[in-house]
Chain A
Amino acid sequence: MSEIAFYSPVPRSSNSKAKSKGNHSNDNDMDLDEMISSVAKNSSTSATLHVVTPGEVITTDSAYMRGHGTYVENEKVLSSVAGVVDRVNKLISVRPLHTRYNGEIGDVVVGRITEVAQKRWKVDLNSRSDAILMLSSVNLPGGVQRRKQESDELQMRNFFMEGDLVVAEVQSFFTDGAYSIHTRSLKYGKLRNGSFLEVAPALVQRCKSHFHSLACGVDLILGLNGYIWVSAHVPQNLDEIDTEQVYSNKNKEDITVQDREAIARVANCIRALAAEFIFINDTIISFAYEASLQHKLKDMTKKEIMHQIATEAVDAVENMKG
């Protein structure tokens, strides 16, 4: 019979070590002038990081312009979100601490089909509104190149069904701010053979590639929207892909116990990193995986061990950088 572990909550600052180390690449932090830092001192936060809550006055000086996350009332600039004040010359904006996905064209995203509509699918991307995948933006099975016909429209559910996970690329925006995405490449399409997890979208940064194949035999797709797909390795040779199978719902038969363990381990490493607010990329995941090998897989849901793995991974990355 397994044990159930009960813990007391801990104060938020107790694991700041990994946090401060993890935030390495964010160097566009404030250059606040005296005025704002004096406000910061008054509001009992540190002078370098001005944290505000919704409705809090950022400045009473009407010379400043309001940016994202702020509004003006009685000639004062107030914050509309909980976050950190950012200032560029006269423009004041607030970067929210917790936000939905803000996409850019060309982003690789992982999404879940929520609705099948007229000539389009609605896709959940963890953004403010569902993205749209047009029937004309997908490849036909077999790679046939032709205009989509009414017959294709009738069998849309054979391509993507509600609940299906897809990897796609942001193609353009609609006038209402919704994203239009496409899967017109063999890299993109339906996801199989693995498990899904979700992290804060801000933790996944734009990189050269978002498709990774780790040494431990695990494939990884880091969606910029914070949705991550960890799956068993499938040898990829874009010339030899069976184009008839791109819309199949069947997992491959030979996912071994070792594969499953590796997938769960990688997924837990990502969770451990995300819990410490560390940016997620393939390098740090590999280091976290190495660090995790000394622990039993089932122990990896434990907070203490997750913290340890994340700290070790951050140290390893810093050692590598010299």
Chain B
Amino acid sequence: MPSLISPAERDYILKGVECNIRADGRQRPDYREVILETGVVSQTSGSARVRIAGGTDVLVSVKAEIGPVQVDPETGDGADKGQIICSVECAPSASQQFEGRGADDLNNEITQMMSRILCNNTTSSYTSTAASTTGSSTTASRQSSGPGGINLQKLCIIPGQQCWILYIDALILDYGGNLMDAIFMGTRAAIFDTRIPKTEVQDLGDGQFEFEVLDDAEDTDPVEGREDMPICITLNKIGACHIVDASPLEELCTEARLVVAVNRSGQLCGLQKGQEGGIEPSLLLEMIQFGKTMGQTLIKQLDTKIKAEADADLAKRQRGEPVHKLGFFAQ
């Protein structure tokens, strides 16, 4: 991850973006190839590894664990909801700058962003999302599933007591630009890969409940509402234009960065502006619109890929063949 760029390089990249030829020959709205594999970590409930050709390498895992429900002391909200807890960590091997405490800011920034978009379990965090403060956005209207999509009520086992907690952990193994998009793609793939064991609740009377987790590997539930999970498109404003999937050097030339979170129906689920520069209102609207269309295309293609892989694995299992994942022995 370079942190410095020379004025001549900056000028070259800026003019290149202007005439629609980026340093690696792509045009402004071009994504690099994405390499994706799900189910790479067997200890998790669901996992995915996403690589963007040219460097970025992200491993996302989802672990479902049972824990107490979190009730908001002011509103009394959340008694009947499960939780999602996100965490992002940059491996020091990804870049020299991540060593020691170097990655703390980046970790925090991405974790916050993920939590705001995905963990909409309390109303207070819901209103603090960037999406609802912009006013112009059309956040998801259904109360049961906020912008995060995942139905948290379904994750509750005994209201007021026990629920499933989904720990979403992203590990950045290599840095080659456009982390945010890769993480969200990985999260979606990992959630699609996640299976939650079924539970059986027994009513003991007097408001006492007991539950049992069925340990049949076949009899599991997918995460409900996963199709409505948003995905992120990071738009980098360079000069008067904006590009997607910026390389590390392009990120250094970025004046302003806009992260647009959008779900499959094209609803805006979150918006975050980064870097120092400003964005003209007209360009802002154009960028949001672009992000929305791009996001929908991305979701469609990502889902096709995830489904194809899941189907292939299922077909193998039915034939009684072992499902081999390449994991880290692949390129």
Which residues of A are in contact with B by a Cβ distance under 8 Å?
Answer: 1-12, 112-114, 161-165, 190-196, 249-251, 255, 257, 260-261, 264-265, 267-268, 271, 297-298, 300-303
Report 9 cross-chain contacts, Cβ distance below 8 Å, ordered by A residue.
Answer: A1-B29, A3-B301, A6-B34, A6-B305, A9-B35, A10-B330, A163-B4, A298-B27, A300-B24
Q: How distant is the Cα of A317 from the Cα of B21 in the complex, in angstroms? A: 29
Any A CB within 8 A of the CB of B249: yes
Q: How distant is the Cα of A275 from the Cα of B290 in the complex, in angstroms? A: 32
A297 pairs with B29, CB closer than 8 A = no
B25 pairs with A264, CB closer than 8 A = yes
Chain B residues whose CB sits within 8 angstroms of the CB of A261 once the complex forms: 21, 25
B20-56 CB mask vs A (1 if < 8 Å, else 0) is 0111111101111111110000000000010101100
Chain A residues whose CB sits within 8 angstroms of the CB of B32 once the complex forms: 301
Any A CB within 8 A of the CB of B262: no
A251 pairs with B8, CB closer than 8 A = yes
A303 pairs with B53, CB closer than 8 A = yes
B298 pairs with A4, CB closer than 8 A = yes
Chain A residues whose CB sits within 8 angstroms of the CB of B29 once the complex forms: 1-2
A6 pairs with B330, CB closer than 8 A = no
Known contacts A8-B36, A251-B15, then 12 further A-B pairs from the complex at CB < 8 Å, ordered by chain A residue:
A2-B30, A6-B301, A7-B34, A7-B35, A161-B7, A165-B8, A190-B8, A191-B8, A250-B11, A257-B19, A260-B19, A267-B23
Chain A residues whose CB sits within 8 angstroms of the CB of B124 once the complex forms: none
Any A CB within 8 A of the CB of B2: yes
Q: How distant is the Cα of A114 from the Cα of B3 in the complex, in angstroms? A: 9
How many residue pairs, one in A and one in B, have C-beta atoms under 8 Å apart? 137
Chain A residues whose CB sits within 8 angstroms of the CB of B227 once the complex forms: none
B6 pairs with A302, CB closer than 8 A = no
- Would you call the interface of chain B mostly helix, strand, loop, or mixed? mixed
B331 pairs with A9, CB closer than 8 A = yes
Q: Which residue of A lies closest to B5 (CB)?
A: A163
A4 pairs with B8, CB closer than 8 A = no
Any A CB within 8 A of the CB of B255: no
B25 pairs with A265, CB closer than 8 A = yes
* CB contact under 8 A between A264 and B21, given known A2-B31, A8-B35, A8-B36: yes
Interface size on B, residues (CB 8 A): 47
B26 pairs with A250, CB closer than 8 A = no
B residues 279-310 near A (Cβ < 8 Å) are 293-294, 297-298, 301-302, 304-305, 309
* CB contact under 8 A between A264 and B34, given known A11-B326, A164-B6: no
Q: How distant is the Cα of A1 from the Cα of B244 in the complex, in angstroms? A: 12
B331 pairs with A298, CB closer than 8 A = no
- Would you call the interface of chain A mostly helix, strand, loop, or mixed? mixed
Any A CB within 8 A of the CB of B99: no
Of A4, A11, A297, which contacts B25 at CB under 8 A? A297
A12 pairs with B331, CB closer than 8 A = yes
Chain B residues whose CB sits within 8 angstroms of the CB of A264 once the complex forms: 21-25
Of A161, A271, A298, which contacts B30 at CB under 8 A? A298
Chain B residues whose CB sits within 8 angstroms of the CB of A8 once the complex forms: 35-37, 309
Q: How distant is the Cα of A300 from the Cα of B8 in the complex, in angstroms? A: 25
Of A10, A163, A191, A195, which contacts B23 at CB under 8 A? A195
A-B CB proximity, top 5 nearest: A9-B330, A163-B4, A264-B25, A6-B305, A249-B7
Chain A residues whose CB sits within 8 angstroms of the CB of B294 once the complex forms: 1
Chain A residues whose CB sits within 8 angstroms of the CB of B31 once the complex forms: 2, 4-5
Any A CB within 8 A of the CB of B16: yes
